[in-house]
């Protein structure tokens, strides 16, 4: 069994426990198609959308907020200090405050998204490639073909306006000490075009995570450095984060989570989105130096970089056996969307909620889902406008789109072996 498979398995052997509301089921177009692609032996996932501020929602919000504050007593978890408060972000009390002018953008749903999958006949289990899917139908429309021999897509990120950057590596671990960066765009038919080396074509290390800003001005690559002929896939003290200015090609590198931070990053999610002009990067990590990669040990953070310095800030660390699975920022960074999970009554219960980045307080629940089996981590991927969240592996192996402004959830009937290891749109 590969290390990746072990981590996907272990991540869901442990229980996760957060307060989740189960709401009335939405009208899911294509529900029959969704049920048809659930694997044998898997119960059809039940997906529900959170209702507007009803009395029950208010009670649940208070319960969850209390559970997140716990710092002592039964079920409490260590809340590792998140460094000086240098974010410069005003607290948010409404989701719309996470957007310019405190208003949701009138943005159209992106037509396509790019997802990373293993190749059908790759030489190793680390042979990944990027495919393009229709966000409306789930149909595969294209595949990214890289130049040269033995290059595989490890991560992909959006730069806005239909432009993307991909980080490629060679077979792991023999050739895992360098990452090649390429930029491309999508045609109106959803096919990759205009492939060319990125403004910074190569960087040392094995690409672990790639993030891009929706305004196309910045990208950040987090890479595992190499030692003794191997790539540090875990044990991340030697990771390097490199910020790339797209207009100039200037780079700045730093250690994202040195030993003193007592953070172990959860690196299954290989794509992310920058916020606040490229200053904020979301990530999920295990605080307190705990070695186990389990859902109930994970917390949601944001990494920040700016004139006042660099650091990270804890947003949500659920109490007890609850855990954070993924997080994503609003365009201004004032609001952070967090996917949490718990196992209860023989089912997995997942919740997507909006939190104030500055205070960690929950603003509202956006969606909830449950499934008897969960095959991989769920991912939250905002589009360039930040209005839509692409949900991968939500409520089982579903792919769905969430309109943050209306809370409307739509299932996309995509057929692939399992949710992508990273995505961008």
pLDDT value at 79 more than 80 = no
Q: What is the set of domains in the chain, with CATH numbers?
A: 15-424 (2.120.10.30)
For 254, other C-beta atoms within 10 Å of its C-beta total 13
pLDDT of residue 376: 46
pLDDT of residue 377: 59
pLDDT of residue 311: 84
Closest CA to 83 of 383, 343, 334, 305: 305
pLDDT of residue 416: 80
pLDDT value at 401 more than 70 = yes
Query: pLDDT tens digits, residue range 159-196?
Result: 988 899 999 988 655 556 889 999 999 999 999 999 99
Among the listed ranges 84-98, 107-121, 281-295, which one has the minimum average pLDDT value?
Answer: 281-295
pLDDT of residue 104: 96
pLDDT of residue 63: 33
pLDDT value at 106 more than 90 = yes
Task: For the chain, give the percent of residues with pLDDT over 70.
Answer: 69
In whole angstroms, give the CA distance from residue 79 to residue 63: 19
pLDDT value at 81 more than 60 = no
Residues 6+ apart with CB under 8 A from 34: 28, 44, 45, 398, 411, 413
Closest CA to 298 of 312, 314, 309: 314
pLDDT of residue 398: 82
* Torsion sign over Cα 189, 194, 200, 204: positive
Confidence tier at 237 by pLDDT (50, 70, 90): low
pLDDT value at 31 more than 60 = no
pLDDT of residue 269: 59
pLDDT value at 75 more than 60 = no
pLDDT of residue 171: 67
Output 108 or 80, whichever has higher pLDDT.
108
Query: pLDDT tens digits, residue range 261-310?
Result: 788 776 545 778 889 888 898 888 888 766 656 677 788 889 888 777 78
Among the listed ranges 16-25, 328-337, 345-354, which one has the minimum average pLDDT value?
Answer: 16-25
Closest CA to 371 of 63, 117, 38: 38
70 exposure class (CB count in 10 Å sphere: 0-12, 13-18, 19+) = middle
Residues 158 and 164: beta-carbon distance below 8 Å = yes
Q: Are strands 347-356 and 335-344 parallel, antiparallel or unpaired?
A: antiparallel
- Mean pLDDT of the chain, nearest integer: 75
One DSSP character per residue, 264-314 reads EE--S--EEEEBTTTTEEEEEEEETT-----GGG-EEEEEEEETTEEEEEE
Residues 403 and 397: beta-carbon distance below 8 Å = no
């Amino acid at each position: 069994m590969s290390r990746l498979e072990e981590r996907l398995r272990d991540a869901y052997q442990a229980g996760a426990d957060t307060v989740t509301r189960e709401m009335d089921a939405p009208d899911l177009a294509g529900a029959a198609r969704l049920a048809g692609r659930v694997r044998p032996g898997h119960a059809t996932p039940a997906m529900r959308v959170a209702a507007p501020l009803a009395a029950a929602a208010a009670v649940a919000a208070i319960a969850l907020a209390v559970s997140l504050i716990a710092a002592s007593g039964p079920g409490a978890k260590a809340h590792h200090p998140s460094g000086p408060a240098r974010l410069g972000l005003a607290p948010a009390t409404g989701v719309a405050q996470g957007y310019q002018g405190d208003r949701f953008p009138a943005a159209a749903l992106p037509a396509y998204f790019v997802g990373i999958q293993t190749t059908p006949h790759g030489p190793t289990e680390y042979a990944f490639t990027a495919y393009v899917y229709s966000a409306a139908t789930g149909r595969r429309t294209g595949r990214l073909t890289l130049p040269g021999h033995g290059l595989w897509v490890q991560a992909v990120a959006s730069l806005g306006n239909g432009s993307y950057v991909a980080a490629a590596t060679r077979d792991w671990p023999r050739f895992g000490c360098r990452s090649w960066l390429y930029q491309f765009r999508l045609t109106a038919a959803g096919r990759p075009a205009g492939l060319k080396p990125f403004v910074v074509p190569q960087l040392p290390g094995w690409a672990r995570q790639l993030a891009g800003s929706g305004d196309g001005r910045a990208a950040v690559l987090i890479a595992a450095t190499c030692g003794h002929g191997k790539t540090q896939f875990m044990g991340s003290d030697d990771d390097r984060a490199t910020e790339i200015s797209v207009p100039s090609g200037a780079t700045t590198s730093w250690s994202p989570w040195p030993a003193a931070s007592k953070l172990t990053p959860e690196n299954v999610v290989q794509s992310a989105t920058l916020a606040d002009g490229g200053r904020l990067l979301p990530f999920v990590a295990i605080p307190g130096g705990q070695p186990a990669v389990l859902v109930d040990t994970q917390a949601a953070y944001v990494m920040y970089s700016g004139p006042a310095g660099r650091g990270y800030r804890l947003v949500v660390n659920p109490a007890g056996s609850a855990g954070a699975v993924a997080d994503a920022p609003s365009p201004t960074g004032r609001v952070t969307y967090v996917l949490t999970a718990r196992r209860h009554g023989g089912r997995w219960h997942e919740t997507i909620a909006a939190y104030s980045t500055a205070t960690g307080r929950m603003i509202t629940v956006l969606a909830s889902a449950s499934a008897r089996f969960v095959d991989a981590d769920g991912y939250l991927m905002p589009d360039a406008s930040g209005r839509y969240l692409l949900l991968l592996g939500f409520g089982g192996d579903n792919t769905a789109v969430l309109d943050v402004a209306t809370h409307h959830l739509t299932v996309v009937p995509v057929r692939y072996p399992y949710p992508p290891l990273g995505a961008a749109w």
